[in-house]
Structure formats: C-alpha cells, structure tokens
Amino acid sequence: MAAVSLILLPACQHTAIPEKEKPVQIDTMQLIAPPAPSEQVASNEVSVVSRDTTTYIRFGNCYFSLDWIKPDAGRNDFERHPDSLFFWLAPSHSIEGQMLAITTGETQRIQVSQRYETSVIIGDEPLRDWKHYRSPWESLPAEASNFFICKKYRTDESTRFPPVSLSLFQRYVKQHASPAAYARVARLSHFPQPPARIAISRYYIRVNGLQRHMSDEINKLLVIDVSFKK
C-alpha cells in the first residue's frame, strides 16, 4: 500500500517481535509484528501500511494499529488538516471490541476516547448528509500498557436518532436521493420502517497526550466510516 502523510504519536523505542513468534489473538484483532521500519520518518510525517487485515499508522518510530480499516484517500488532506485522518471500515466488520494498540514510549497522560454517529440507511445506502445522532465522547480505559479496547454498543444505543416525521423523511429522500431510493420509501406507514433503518454509520477515535520531554500536545482524530455495501 502506498505511503501517505498523516498523524500519530511521538517517537519511541520499539523492540521488533521475531518473525517466528506466533501472533497472539485478542478479541477481533491479532497482535502481530508491525512491518519493519526501513528508514527514519520525520516527526511531522506519518505513513500508513497494511499487512493482512491490520493497518499500521507510523509516526516517527511508533505505531498505531487497528484491524479492517483503509485510508480514505479522497478525504484526507494532510497539509491542511494533519491532525485528522479518515478511514473506510471493511464491509461486515466493526471496530467494536477490537484491540487498539498505541506505542507511547515518549509520551505521558495518553487518553483515548470514542464516540459514534448514526444515520438513516435505505437498503445499503446511508443518508450521510441528512440528520444524525452523535453520541457523547466516552473514555476508553487502558487494558494494559499501550492497549485499549474499542467500546461495544447495545442495540438501543446504535439505533438512536433525532425525532423526525415520516413526511419530512420522505420529502428529503425525494429531493436529495435517487428516484429508486424514493420509490422504496414512498409508501412507508411510519419511520423508521424497512427498508429504512437506523444504524451506526461512523466511528470517531480521539487520542490526546503530552510528550514527556516537551510541551507539545498530541491531539489526533480518526474518523472511520462504515461500509454498508457487501
């Protein structure tokens, strides 16, 4: 995968895991040795590398890693917005319950928090530019040094949505969605009702910290969009 400029955590010493060592599977993610660094990366640069199902974001000599995500090249702008990174989540997968690994050897007071956003989904098409419910930020407790578990959500949480009338929903679809989408919802008797449903369409992960020997703050935001088409 081609390297792209981006964000992540400060430089630290990393001891490579021998290639012969078997990966340890924790929940939905495998903790495997990250790709061997071939050269020093400038502190204001980040490269993204995929290996099997895992994506590694390299910042200096450190890595952030998560499964089933791919960078959204069309939305990332590392010159104007270097502290925000956009991803697509692989179809039929979730970040919920995954192990989030962050190397933090030269940082202190690292905090990771997570929130989600819901949208109306018509079949496999989310209405990303209409109304949403956005959850409050919730802190992720560290399960071990440098490891966090992404929060799982109950059904009643993942289907929350602002109050909206059926007529308002149908009018929006008629004006902004495809004729085929409107045909699918034109005869609904209430909202939501299949084929229109409420689901999580986006996850946010926020990483904050302070470099140990400097006053530089770390404020990084990862935006992960859900793919509904299989």
Does residue 90 contact residue 227 with C-beta atoms inside 8 Å?
Answer: yes
Model pLDDT, residue 78: 61
Residue 5 covered by a domain: no
Burial classification of residue 174, based on how many CB atoms lie within 10 Å of its CB (0-12 exposed, 13-18 middle, 19 or more buried):
middle
Alpha carbon distance 207, 220 (integer Å): 5
59-87: b (≥16 Cβ within 10 Å) or e: bbbbbbbbbbbebeeeebebeeebebbbb
CA 84: distance to chain centroid? 11
For residue 110, being part of any structural domain is answered with: yes
Kindly give the parts of the chain with pLDDT less than 70.
1-46, 58-62, 78-82, 104-109, 210-218
Q: Report yes or no on 76 lying in a domain.
A: yes
128: amino acid identity, one letter = R
**What residue has token string 């974001």?**
57
Task: Note whether residue 18 is domain-resident.
Answer: no
Cα atoms in the Cβ-side hemisphere of radius 13 Å centred on 107: 25
* Residues in a beta bridge with 170: none
Question: Are 41 and 3 in contact, with CB atoms under 8 Å apart?
Answer: no
Helices (H), 25-144: none
> Range of 77's domain?
24-153+200-225
**Burial of 111 per CB tally in 10 Å (0-12, 13-18, 19+):** middle
User: Is residue 121 domain-resident?
Assistant: yes
Instruction: Assess if residue 170 is contained within a domain.
Output: no
Both tokens of residue 53?
Answer: 């199902």
Q: pTM for the whole thing? A: 0.77
Residue 6 lies in a domain: no
Tens of pLDDT, residue by residue over 30-84, are 444 555 554 443 335 667 777 788 888 766 555 788 899 998 888 877 666 667 8
> How far is C-alpha 103 from the geometric centre of its chain's CA atoms?
18
Residue 97 lies in a domain: yes
Count of structural domains, the chain: 1
Structure tokens, 150? 């992404």
Q: Greatest CA separation found in the chain?
A: 63
Amino acid at 110: I
- pLDDT averaged over every residue in the chain: 79
